[in-house]
Every structure is written in structure tokens, then in C-alpha cells.
Amino acid sequence: MKNLRYMMLSFAVLFTISVIARSENPITILPYSDFGLTERQAAAHLLNRFTFGARPGGIDQLLEMGLETWFERQLDANLSCPKLDERLSKLQSIHMSTEQILKVYPPNGAVRSMAHREGVIDRNDQNAKPTEVRQKLKEFSKEKGFRPQRELLDELTAQKILRSVYNENQLTEVLTDFWFNHFNVSITDNQAKPWVLSYEHEAIRPYVLGRFRDMLGATAKHPAMLYYLDNNQSNALPDATPKALREQSRKRKQRSKKTSTLNRSSTEKVMSDSQIMMSDSSVNPKTLKRGINENYARELMELHTLGVEGGYTQKDVVEVARAFTGWKVNRKSKRKNGKPKSIIQDGDFQFVPWNHDVKEKIILGQKFPVGGRIEEGQRVLGMLAEHPSTAKHISRKLATYFVSEDPPATLVDRLAKVFLQKDGSIKALIREISVSPEFWRGEKKHKTKSPIRLAVSALRSTGADIKKTRQLAQWIAKMGQPLYACRPPTGYPDRGMFWINTGTILNRMNFGISLASNQIQGIRLNLADLGPDTELGSNNKSPAVYASLLLPERDITKMCQRLEQQIISISDKERKNTKSKNIKNIKRRKAKIAAKKRGQKQLIVQAVGVILGSPEFQTY
């Protein structure tokens, strides 16, 4: 009987283990103890790498919840965020459709053109005073209900900062930052500018824990990418359109009927299909803007998928560009007579077949037959998403972002294998990183914070309250990272050397001091809210207390030594002021006591500013 019970119990345990092992989302067991980390150190490491930094008391909350439970909830990404929702509700543009944004926030040039057409201003008037013109444009915009694009950009950066600070689903925010930078578009492109908000919300954010192929397809079709990398203006050459194909077929049939005519000139015999098409009076090439643009095709392979050494050639770039001809922005407002039935539309994307190159293509050794349509581009995206070079390229970038600037090849290879086995599941890659030896060994290999991570981690660690973000965004730009404004498609490099130079180091230090002293407009910091034991004591332990709160589970020995050198000892001040007890004038005594308290408070501010600007806080 005992043996039977034992066998049944063993079977139940084995069955449970097998179910967990086979499940799509197995419970992650974090192996931090195998690498000499305490539970508290492991919690700090998780918060450093998978969030924008710990909040006051964040480690204790994580420990109470349990490391594995916290990690699984971050992967599920469905935690409620009332503080964030309240702040986002005050931003108008994030509740608008892109069509509404285009109407409410038109470019300055468009407003001027409209005002000129309606006779409000005369652009040809050389004697017009600029101040009067600006006033007329301002009144015209107000009458039409237009808002300046500066407000749109302010709200764009505001929502990013607010989400990064207040979103409880921190892993989602960290990954949104990573993937937007990977599939970079920029507000420096005037055509892409009004679409950047919807690009992040529709093409990036929904897929950051999903399948890579889905995100790749969403970015390829989004107007921000179509404008930014010029695919919207990429068209088939005149001899490669569907109409040209039909014309070529008709001409070949005509030629075959005339084979009995022996006096055809040699020039007619060697005339190419392209020349025949161009000579046909029914097609006027001057009315068509033809030409293949290779920008998107090149960056698609070099940056988004295969990588620089991914095994493709310049011929592949051209062929991929041909496969994506006809992928365009669906500008409904500019269409007056409806759409032809042959156009394929999907929201703000459309496929225009007469702009597509229908000739045969060979891409990465695979043949695309004559007559292809939108499925050619979709097939290319599928090929690239499943390619081993893409698996390695994406794995290396994720390992660099979460582990170290020079990730071990063994980790990259394991991640690439998971990428291919799990159909490009980003969630599976994050799980693999979290259980990798390299991730936990890297606890002592710190990475340099980007300006946005530095600013957000400072706000989170100090518990700062955010009312306005414009000046904060200016500080982030001053430290070297204007938000959404990276011009090259490469995005910002994930390298500490890129962020650190003489000018940026000074700006980083000044940012810490400005934040601590409440000199950043719209940001309010109350140092007393950081935690217990932060009042100045007789032994002057306050700087060390603040250092331990802002840099939890970090070695702060050198930090405290620097604080002692940079901050005047409060105990010395106390000794200088002991004579105040003997002063008979009560008003003077109170004034000196008040001055002493102000001095103590200023020293605390100075200490926190030094900590936020320190090399230790600059890394994570």
C-alpha cells in the first residue's frame, strides 16, 4: 500500500514537472544564489537591468512579493498604473488619432501656404514686417483651431518620461526604449514627425514582448518608417510595372506575327522590352515619378534584421527594394474619388500595385517569379525574420543591452538558438537572459546609463513628483540624447563611450545638483520622503544614509570618502556655533539657529546632488 502511494505521488510530481516544462510560459527559476548573490543583491540587479531603477523601498517590496513572482508579472505586463493614467489623461495628443493630429498640428509651412491662399498674408510682399506676419499667422491658426507642432513634440517627450517613471510594467517600458531605438525613426524628418507618436504606440509598444516578425511587419507598414526611410517614394522603373508587363507581352505577340517579314532593321531586332514600352504612346513616362529607393531595403537588412555581416550583397539590397515598391502611406484626405479596387489598404498603409515591380527577383538565393504583388514584401520579411543571421544580430543587441557591452559569444549563441526555436519570441529571449550565468555574473560589470535612463532613474530613486517635463527633456538633450531626434537610422549606440565626454560629464553632474536643489521646472523633490534615518545626526552619517538609499546594494565606500572631501563637515559648523547659546539677544539666537538649519539642509542637497552626479550613479 505504501509503495502504491509512493508510486502515485512520484507520478503526480513527474506529471506536474513535465506540464511546466512543456508549457508556453514556464515559471522562471532565477539562479542568483549559484553565483554568490544574496536575495537582496539579486533584487537590486533585477531592478537595475529590467526597470529604469528602483524606487524608495522598491527592493523591500520586490522581496516581499518574491523575485520569481515579480519577474513573471513583468513578463505578463498587465499591472494597473493609476498614477500614470492620471498624468497621461492631461495630454491631449495621445488620445487623438493620427488623422486628428495632422489636422490640429499642421507644419508651419502648411499654415503659411493656407494663410496665403486665403489672402491672410502675402508671401511675395517684401515690405511685410515679420512681427506683423507672425501675429496674423497666430490669429489665423487660432481661428482654424490649429496648435503649434512644438506642443505635439512636448507631449511626445512628456508621455515617454511619464511612462518611464510611473509605469508599473517597467520591463515593457525598458523594452519599448530598446525596440524604438532598434527600429529608429526621427522627428527631424518633417514628413515622419507627426507620425512618431502613433509609431511607438502602434508599431512598437504592442509587440515588445511578442514575436519579432510581428513587430518587423508593423514597422515596415507604418507611415513613420515609410516616410523616414523613403519607401513611400520608391516606385518600379517604367519597364517593370504591371502595365509595362502587359505592353511587353502585347509587343512580343505582335513581333511573333511579323516573323515572315525579312527586311526588319537590326535595330528593331535588338530593341529591348524597355525601349518598346517607352516608345509606346499610351504610356507617358513624364507623368510618372519612377525610381527605386534603396534606403529602407538597406537598413532593413543591415540594421533591423541580418546585421552588417549578415551575408547579403548589394544585389540583394536592390532586389529587396524592388520587392517593397508600391508600399505606401494611405493618405485618405488626399483621395477625392475613392480608391481603385486593386489597391490593398490596411489602416494608414496601402499597397499600390501599379507602382510595384512585377519582374522576377532573386533574394538571398530564393526566386520570386514574375507577377508578384504585396506578398513579395511579406515573404521577404518572413525570410529575414527566420534567418540565422537575424537571430544572432538580435540576440547580440539584447545581450548588450541587458548584460554587458561585450556579451560572451556563448550567451549570444544560446539566445540565437532560442530565437529560432521559439519563432522569434521576445519573451522567451528575456527568460533566457534572466536565467543565464552571464546575466548574474554581470552583476558587478556595470553599464553606463544613457541620458534618459540617468534622468528617469534619478527621478525614480528620489521619489520626485513630476508636473511638467519640458525642462527635464531639455536636460536629457543637453546630456546628449534629444528624445525621438536621433537623425541616423542606426539609433543611439549602446556604448558608454558614446555618452561620456568632457561636456556631458559636466552636464550630468549639474543635472544631479539641479534636481536635488529643485531647480528643474516642473519637478519637485522632497528629500525627507526618501526614507527613515535621513535627518542629520551628531555623527554626521547623513551622506552615507543617502548614498545607501540611492545606490542600494552597491559598494559606497569610495562614494562616502568623496562626500567627506567635497562637503563641509556639519560637526565643525556646530562647534563654531556653540557660542550662540550664550547670546542674550533672542532674535539673533533664533536667526542663527535658522541659518544653521538652512546650512544643514543645503549640505544635504549638496550631498544628494554629488551622489546623483557620481560615477557610481552614472552606471547600473
351 phi, psi to nearest 5 deg? -110, 120
Q: Quote the pLDDT of residue 273.
A: 37
Output the CA–CA distances (angstroms, integers) from residue 563 to 511, 512, 556, 569, 570, in the order listed. 17, 14, 10, 10, 12
**In this model, does residue 470 exceed pLDDT 60?**
yes
CA–CA gap between residue 588 and residue 499 (Å, rounded): 50
Q: Quote the pLDDT of residue 452.
A: 98
Question: Average pLDDT of the chain?
Answer: 85
- Mean pLDDT within 379-408: 97
* Among the listed residues 430, 413, 312, the one whose alpha carbon sits nearest the alpha carbon of residue 362: 312
Q: Quote the pLDDT of residue 509.
A: 93
Q: Specify the range with the lowest mean pLDDT, choosing from 337-346, 519-528, 574-583, 587-596.
A: 574-583
Between 279 and 312, name the one with better pLDDT: 312
Residues β-bridged to residue 351:
327, 344
> What pLDDT band is residue 272 in, cutting at 50, 70 and 90?
very low
* Among the listed residues 523, 533, 552, the one whose alpha carbon sits nearest the alpha carbon of residue 611: 552
Between 567 and 314, name the one with better pLDDT: 314
**In this model, does residue 54 exceed pLDDT 50?**
yes
CA–CA gap between residue 100 and residue 158 (Å, rounded): 19
CA–CA gap between residue 117 and residue 371 (Å, rounded): 44
3-class SS at 336? coil
CA–CA gap between residue 186 and residue 588 (Å, rounded): 60
Contact indicator for 334, 223 with CB cutoff of 8 Å: no
Which 8-state DSSP code applies to residue 210?
S
Q: Quote the pLDDT of residue 591.
A: 64
Residue whose cell numbers read 489602416 = 347
pLDDT in tens, 191-230: 999 999 999 999 999 999 999 999 999 999 999 999 999 9
Q: Quote the pLDDT of residue 104.
A: 94
Output the CA–CA distances (angstroms, integers) from residue 300 to 28, 316, 377, 574, in the order listed. 33, 11, 12, 65
Q: Quote the pLDDT of residue 604.
A: 81
Q: Quote the pLDDT of residue 531.
A: 61
CA–CA gap between residue 336 and residue 78 (Å, rounded): 43
**In this model, does residue 5 exceed pLDDT 70?**
no
Count the neighbouring beta carbons within 10 Å of the beta carbon of residue 412.
22
pLDDT in tens, 501-546: 888 999 999 999 999 999 999 999 988 777 655 554 444 456 778 8
pLDDT in tens, 156-196: 999 999 999 999 999 999 999 999 999 999 999 999 999 99
Q: Quote the pLDDT of residue 456.
A: 98
Q: Quote the pLDDT of residue 544.
A: 78
188 phi, psi to nearest 5 deg? -75, -15
- Mean pLDDT within 318-328: 98
Q: Specify the range with the lowest mean pLDDT, choosing from 190-204, 258-272, 427-441, 535-549.
A: 258-272
pLDDT in tens, 293-309: 999 999 999 999 999 99
Q: Quote the pLDDT of residue 20.
A: 44
**In this model, does residue 288 exceed pLDDT 70?**
no
Q: Quote the pLDDT of residue 22.
A: 44
3-class SS at 106? coil
